[in-house]
Amino acid sequence: MAVLDILEFPDSRLRIKATPIEKVDDSIRKLANDMLETMYQAPGIGLAATQVNVHKRIVVIDVSEDKSQPYVLINPEFKVLTDKLDHMQEGCLSVPGFYEDVTRPERIKLTALNLDGEQFTMECEGLLAVCVQHEIDHLNGKLFVDYISPLKRNRIKKKLEKQHRFQTA
């Protein structure tokens, strides 16, 4: 297993739309394991392949307290199950150090493939539903900062660009 580099906003590669995975094989299983290791080390609760510059539709998530319930979601999709909305403060490994309130549907029905290439569905609510939606946004080239005002987004962009300049100097 290996820890992968995580792209940071405003890197344009975060805007690339991921392509579906045709076949779940050992290379996809290795990618999933590397993504889990990267997410746990970061530390985070979700990571999309787009964030590690792999533009395939795969996401890893673990919202458990003790990091014992990892999900690997291949070609994930969801349907909204309720009109009720959740307002939750979100952060992102690709936007380190920033947290903003984002509004998303409270309950969703997730459909994805597992590491054996078998399709499964599950209903998600609360933090898991938010995390699934956040990570699928990444696969579609969208970031949580796209949900906030242009003024706030620009401020975050400028601060991260400044940090990147100092890190590479």
| Token pair 């080390």: residue | 41
Question: What's residue 111's pLDDT?
Answer: 98
Q: Tens digit of pLDDT for each residue in 53-77?
A: 999 999 999 999 999 999 999 999 9
Is 138 annotated as a binding-site member? yes
Residue 54 domain-assigned (yes or no): yes
Q: Tens digit of pLDDT for each residue in 8-51?
A: 999 999 999 999 999 999 999 999 999 999 999 999 999 999 99
Query: 90, 99, 23, 84: which is closest to 56 by C-alpha?
Result: 23
Residue 3 domain-assigned (yes or no): no
Looking at the predicted structure, is the pLDDT value of residue 164 above 90?
A: no
Is 92 annotated as a binding-site member? yes
Residue 37: give the domain boundaries.
12-168
Is 55 annotated as a binding-site member? no
Q: For this structure, is 135 an active site residue?
A: yes
Helix (H, G, I), strand (E, B) or coil at 115: coil
Query: 64, 130, 94, 68: which is closest to 4 by C-alpha?
Result: 94
Question: What's residue 169's pLDDT?
Answer: 65
Amino acid at 7: L
- Which pLDDT band, with edges at 50, 70 and 90, does 153 fall under? very high
Residue 1 domain-assigned (yes or no): no
- Which pLDDT band, with edges at 50, 70 and 90, does 119 fall under? very high
Cα–Cα distance between 17 and 62 in angstroms, integer? 23
Residue 7 domain-assigned (yes or no): no
Q: Output phi, psi for 119, to 5 deg.
A: -80, 140
Domain count along the chain: 1
Helix (H, G, I), strand (E, B) or coil at 151: helix
Residue 90 domain-assigned (yes or no): yes
Which residue out of 8, 100, 135, 161 is catalytically annotated?
A: 135
CB 164: neighbour CB atoms within 10 A? Answer: 14
Cα–Cα distance between 149 and 64 in angstroms, integer? 31
Q: Global pTM?
A: 0.95
In this structure, what CATH number is given to the domain that contains residue 106? 3.90.45.10
Cα–Cα distance between 26 and 133 in angstroms, integer? 26
